[in-house]
Amino acid sequence: MKIGLVGFGKAGKAVANVILQNEKHSLEWVLKSTTTTVSTAKDYLGIATNDPAIIVSLEEKSAADLFDENPVDLIIDFSSSDSIYDYGKEAATRKITIVSAISHYKENEHEFLLQLSNETVVFWSPNITLGVNYLLFASSLLKNIAPDVDIEISEEHFKAKAGVSGTAIKIAEALDVETESINSVRAGGIVGKHEVIFGFPYQTVRLVHESISREAFGSGALFVAENLQDKKVGFYKFEDILRPYFFSESQKEMS
């Protein structure tokens, strides 16, 4: 699969690192908002590969020209929320699949994503790590089985992280837990840890996810990309990708 990457910050670099080391896919280009002195992502990261991985700036080339000169099957976005306006329409017109890992979209931006999904496959997840979404999906299933169970959510991150984790808030909303009751810990260089505690009479179930490095975003993005290949035009979330792994064919037909 030919992949284009939008954004080359800390997360973007980690994602590029994972794609460049995956022989099944090719990183064709990285799109940045500003110019850079480095010509390719593979040179910047020091990875020997045949992937072109050219770094392109919107100051130098439009999204339309980039897509025509360097076609891709799929775009992975790890940039900013408003970047969807820079490339979204041109990508949708060319039926390029869009995978967005932007943490937060405003209402207008989210509406624009939905509009694009009328023309091409669009996927969005505020946290694209497979582990976090497995935790979220499994937690929802357990809540459905035991709707009256006591639930507590805790999240741990590095000292400088401000505010409550967006992922923890999403978990709380999915489980109908007051976001004000989320327990937050800030210490040292913790990358990210989320825990959901289910308090049953005489027993406790704990589901825990801990990020070790940002490369988890890359492996999650590729997992999504591979599972979107046969999808019809439309808007997808991570639960749409995971659901077939949890249910048998007969259960899916009944649901």
What is the set of active-site residues? 157, 161
Name the nearest CA neighbour of 64 among 88, 38, 42. 88
Helices (H) then strands (E): counts for the chain: 10, 11
Using CB atoms within 10 A of its CB, is residue 56 exposed (0-12), middle (13-18) or buried (19+)?
buried
CA distance 23 to 140: 35
Contact criterion met (CB below 8 Å) for 175 and 140: yes
Local structure of residue 115 (DSSP, 8 states): H
Strands 203-211 and 192-200: antiparallel
Residue with token string 């996927």? 123
Please report which residue ranges of the chain form alpha helices under DSSP H. Answer: 10-20, 41-45, 63-69, 84-93, 107-116, 130-145, 166-174, 215-227, 238-246, 249-254
CA distance 157 to 24: 33
- Residues 6 or more apart whose CB falls under 8 angstroms from that of 34 comprise 57, 59
Task: Name residue 74's beta-bridge partners.
Answer: 3, 97
